[in-house]
Each structure stands twice: as structure tokens, then as C-alpha cells.
Amino acid sequence: MSASGPEDAAAVAVSSTDPTPIKAVPLRHPGRWIAAAIILVLLGLFVYGAATNHAYRWDIYWKYLFDYRIEAGVLITLELTVLAMVIGVVLGVVLAVMRLSPNPVLRSVAWVYLWIFRGTPVYVQLVFWGLFPSLYKVIDLGVPFGPQLLHMNIQDWRTPFIFAMVGLGLNEAGYMAEIVRAGINSVGEGQREASLALGMSWGQTMRRTVLPQAMRVIIPPTGNELISMLKTSSLVAAIPLTTDLYGRARDIYAVNLLPIPLLLVAATWYLVITSILMIGQHYLERYYARGASRQLTAKQLRALADAQLEVGK
């Protein structure tokens, strides 16, 4: 029989004072289930009422949902959205750099541009662009009392698509400029000072150091602007442009006098395209947010667990 020393007695004393494990009981939230049940009942009543309401004319809805004219309008809407966003992004970057420039002339020009295009409704701007051929018949650029360098006959541009693209793009540039400026300001001053200390000019610092790091802040709101641009494109009826999705639906219900099912057709296509863009935005935001949060994803946790198992072996 072995004698117990003072160390064994201390271990027994410590073990006897250990607290008993706490049995965690999850909180119950009956209010959540009641609210969910009420919402489901109301949603079911709405769906049933819409399905049985003859005024919706679901037969007409299914007839025109995949009509070739509607599909052509979807294509025009996508083209208009992409081209206008390209103009907005490129010009927005230029305006943001101008606003942050040490040159007071460039800062003033950028501020006036934002003041005009952000301070007036986009619908009013599109109406103006629709009337542009009436304001300017011909544009001539050249040296005063010298040779003519450029001659443009605006009357040859009477395609509404071009003016719609330009109008939406110039309006979007005002908002993209502020998004890009916020992204640039999110980069620490030390990065700029280090670039200047290496002998870079202000323009090289922006192009090589600041803008690449600012993309994490710029990309997510740019996705929101793309989705917003898709829906804003329906306002090109002010030019007027009738070949887009909403314009095609409007032309059809102007003939059959059934606006409700055609508006539902247009809304369905807008919703489908917006949903696809939202999925793409989600993955794009997650890509550029890597390293911004300390919280590990499920994939990273699995990789960490596998690495620990390998070390244990």
C-alpha cells in the first residue's frame, strides 16, 4: 500500500472543488414561429387570390413571357446596361482622381460635374438627351480661323440607343466618382507617403499603389450600381427608346389593351436578371473581402482541422 504525499492530497482537494458542468438549455422563441406562421398564411392568401383573379390574365402572361419581341428587348436592356456602366465606371474613376488632385482647376471641374449630374433627376437628363439633335444640328471642332479638325452631323445620330447609353453613362459617372473617391480615401496615408518617398509621381501613386488597394471598397457598391442601372434603363422611354424590355412590353399592351400581364412579364425578366446579378455580386464581394475579417469560413476551418490531424500523426 503506497503512502499518499502532500501533492496527492492537493490534487484531490482541487478535483473536489471543480464546478459541475452547466447544462445549457436553448431559449425558446415562440414569437418567431407565430410571426412566421402569420406571414406564410398571408402569403398563401395573396398567391391564391392572384392565381384566381381573372384580371391578372395569366394566360396572356404565359403567352408573352417568352415572346421573341420580349426576348429581343431583354437583349437590348442588357447591352444598354453594360455599355452605360462601362462609361460610368471609366469616367467615374477619372472624376474621382480629379477631385483628389492637387490641381484646383481639376478639382473644380469635377465638383461642377457632380453637382449637375447628381443634382438633377436622371429622367430629366434623358429627356434632354432625347432633344439633343434639336439643340445641335452639327458640331464642328477646329482651330479658329484655321483648318477644321472634326465635323459631326448630329442628325445622323438619331438612334435613341446611343443617346440612352450616353445619358445613363454620364449620370452613373457622378455616382461612381464618389464610390471610387471613398475607396481611395480608405487607403492609408502611409501608402501614399511611401510611394512618394520611392520617387513616384502623384499619378503613378494613384495608378500603382492606391487604386489596386481601393478595389476592396470599390467593387461591392459597384455591383449595387450595376443592378440599379439595369432597373434605371426602363426610364429610356423618355428619349424615347422603345426597343428595350419595358418598351417592348409597353408596345404590346398598347395594342392588346392588357397592361397588367405585360407588366408582369417585364417585371419577371427584370427580377430574373437582377437575381443573377445579385448572385454574382455575392461571390465578387466574398472574393474581395478575403483577409478583411478574422472569422474563418467553413472551407478554411476544414483545412485547419486537416492540418492539425496531419501534425498529430
CATH number at residue 183: 1.10.3720.10
What is the number of structural domains in the chain?
A: 1
The pLDDT tens digits for 75-99 are 999 999 999 999 999 999 899 989 9
Look at the alpha carbons of 261, 262, 264, 269 in this order and tell me if their dihedral is positive or negative.
Answer: positive
User: pTM for the full model?
Assistant: 0.75
- Domain presence at residue 300: no
- Domain presence at residue 299: no
Per-residue pLDDT of the chain (313 residues; tens, 9 = 90+): 445 555 555 555 545 555 666 676 677 778 888 999 999 999 999 888 888 888 889 999 999 999 999 999 999 999 999 999 999 999 998 999 899 888 889 999 999 999 999 999 999 999 988 888 877 777 767 677 667 677 677 766 667 888 899 999 999 999 999 998 888 888 877 777 788 787 887 778 877 787 777 877 888 888 889 999 999 999 998 888 888 999 999 999 999 999 999 999 999 999 999 999 988 888 877 776 665 555 666 666 677 777 777 766 6
- Domain presence at residue 302: no
The C-alpha atoms of residue 78 and residue 229 are separated, in whole angstroms, by 10
Range of the domain at 229: 56-288
- Domain presence at residue 190: yes
Residue 21 region, left (φ>0) first, then alpha (ψ -120 to 50), else beta? beta
Look at the alpha carbons of 63, 67, 71, 77 in this order and tell me if their dihedral is positive or negative.
Answer: negative
- Domain presence at residue 192: yes
- Domain presence at residue 87: yes
- Domain presence at residue 272: yes
- Domain presence at residue 50: no
Can you read off the three cell numbers belonging to residue 231? Answer: 432597373
